[in-house]
Amino acid sequence: SLSDLEGVLKLTLFNRSPRGMAPTAFGEALIRRLKTIIGELHDADEELGALRAGTYGHVSIGCIPLLPAGILPRLLSGVVRARPGLTLSVTDGGGVETLLKQLRDRRLDMVLCMRPNADEHDNDFRFEPLFNDSMLLVAGRNHPAARARKPTLRNLELDPVVLPSQGSVYRRRIDEAFARLNRPAPTAAVEASSPMLRLGLAENGGMATFIQASVWADKGPRYRLKVVPLRELIECGAIGYMVLRYWQMTPAAAALIEVMRSEIEDASRAGDTLGG
């Protein structure tokens, strides 16, 4: 084999004698290079194995603007702790349609969002749920709702109340809950799309507000507010991720989803309310 290699290179790589072989200057140079190549091949094997196992790689995520105020920071922090070899980039602006366009153009690997209606996206995408979100009623401790013994939307006194903005999916779910009880929805003292603003107004103004369970699970403990244990459940729908239907998921993306599901299960076992 060495003779064949010398023939290909047209160089003498080893001096041969009865006592054995010794590398020539050409042979020593080749040996140095081969050691480097073998080392690189070893590193490449380790890197490919890490990519295959999902312990290394990059995932580009898009998310609807309201998710960063909820449990998303907790989920992504869990990913960083569990898979330190993964790197993430998060885009949280422009609305669902803009994010889906970036997903179609392969600038994003997935989009975290609420389950869309059937007519809101085409068959190029696939939605996979992570958890179901719901709306909680929270109030300052001196608010009438916080003092009610058997609180129900049918007879609860909610004034003053902060509500999500008109036209939002959260406001529609609240209005639908009251409509099912044949009761007019409450009149908002303030409307705000930001869940953090609603919580701040409720705390500082002694008001009540409806807040996503996923937001409360992550942010609630810092506020001097009480969850009102309503008999009714106001469901928001599933929170999950959208991917291209025929996209071959990378091991890094699969690892990200695995860790997020694990974090959600851990939060549920710890008693955090994620909407069921």
Q: Please state the pTM of the whole predicted model.
A: 0.72
Calculate helix-pair angle for 251-269, 25-53, nearest 10 degrees. 40
What pLDDT score does 47 carry?
56
Confidence of residue 276 (pLDDT cuts 50, 70, 90): very low
CB 199, CB 209: distance < 8 Å? yes
- In angstroms, the CA 139 to CA 158 distance is 9
79 versus 208: which is more confidently predicted?
A: 208
Alpha helices in 10-71 (DSSP H): 25-53
What pLDDT score does 39 carry?
63
Tens digit of each residue's pLDDT (9 = 90 or more) over 161-174: 999 999 888 999 99
Highest mean pLDDT among 1-5, 38-42, 83-87, 117-121: 83-87
- In angstroms, the CA 92 to CA 67 distance is 8
Determine the average pLDDT of the residues in 132-137: 94
Determine the average pLDDT of the residues in 18-47: 76
- In angstroms, the CA 76 to CA 90 distance is 10
What pLDDT score does 83 carry?
85
Q: Which of 107-121, 142-156, 185-199 shows the lowest per-residue confidence on average (mean pLDDT)?
A: 107-121
Tens digit of each residue's pLDDT (9 = 90 or more) over 86-109: 889 999 877 888 998 888 888 899
What pLDDT score does 118 carry?
62
pLDDT at 50 over 80: no
Highest mean pLDDT among 7-11, 53-57, 173-177: 173-177
> How far does CA 233 lie from the centroid of its chain?
24
Bridge partners, residue 191, by sequence? 163
> How far does CA 215 lie from the centroid of its chain?
13
- E strands in 33-124: 57-63, 86-91, 110-114
pLDDT at 231 over 60: yes
The pair of structure tokens assigned to 134 is 């719901």
